[in-house]
Amino acid sequence: MSDNNQLFFKQASDLLSKIEIRYMQADFDEQIELKEERDRAMTVFSQARLAILKENIICTDADVQIMKQLRQQIDSSPDIVQVVATVASFASFVRSRFLS
């Protein structure tokens, strides 16, 4: 596995962990807002990870950078609306890049 693939998986896993933490810290109404996107992101990433491994897709420097940016966005998102938007961006990127 390439170094970029390892970095990509690490960044994406960190991002998913941060999403889960934000979900657990959210109040009930915020959890309702976030749940669908969180679940979608986890499913899409699992599918993409499988595609990357099965099809020997090589992640690029840009892929790693996008994951870093998305992770930073989660860290700096002050409210649940921005968290939901970042989670949707993550799922959309992963789907379009690895599952098309």
pLDDT at residue 100 is higher than 90: no
From CA 52, how far away is CA 60, in angstroms rounded?
12
- pTM for the structure as a whole: 0.92
Mean pLDDT within 39-60: 96
From CA 31, how far away is CA 9, in angstroms rounded?
25
The average confidence (pLDDT) of the chain is: 95
From CA 72, how far away is CA 15, in angstroms rounded?
9
Percent above pLDDT 70 for the chain? 100
pLDDT at residue 2 is higher than 90: no
